[in-house]
Structure 1
């Protein structure tokens, strides 16, 4: 026998044992510069700005990744 539960409320949040990680890469086609994954998002932003100051490259792909957990309310 199976049961279908409808309208069950859920919530999603960051897993309490995890920290978000941040990384970035320069999108200039001739540049391979990137920021390695770090938990310090502000430093990743500073690294991008410093790269712009050195090279003039001002477009970056940024990524923020965390571990999520979904629970029923």
Structure 2
């Protein structure tokens, strides 16, 4: 018995979901500090907030995160 298969190969791309905004968050990594930046859509303000924390405390090492909702669509 012969088996015949047809595979359709499709190229895909990944893009930001059009109905979402990216979010930025940060946390000070100084061992004695509990400062965190709640997720915000304003990336420039997130940077300013980290710089302000540095100016106020001298703490200069942060963990920063960027999160985005993405969607995979066929490439055209």
Aligned length: 71
The unaligned stretches of length 5 or more in structure 2 are: none
Report the structure number with the largest CA radius of gyration: 2
Shift of 1:6: 6.2
The unaligned stretches of length 5 or more in structure 1 are: none
* Distance in 2 between residues matched to 1:28 and 1:38, nearest whole Å: 22
The CA RMSD measured in Å over matched residues stands at 1.5
> Could you say if the C-alpha distance between residues 24 and 4 of structure 1 is closer, same or farther in structure 2, counting changes exceeding 3 Å?
farther
Shift of 1:29: 1.1
> Could you tell me the TM-score, scaled by structure 2's length?
0.86
* Distance in 2 between residues matched to 1:14 and 1:24, nearest whole Å: 21
> Could you tell me the TM-score, scaled by structure 1's length?
0.89
> Could you say if the C-alpha distance between residues 5 and 32 of structure 1 is closer, same or farther in structure 2, counting changes exceeding 3 Å?
farther
Q: Which is further off, 47-56 or 5-14? A: 5-14
Shift of 1:48: 0.3
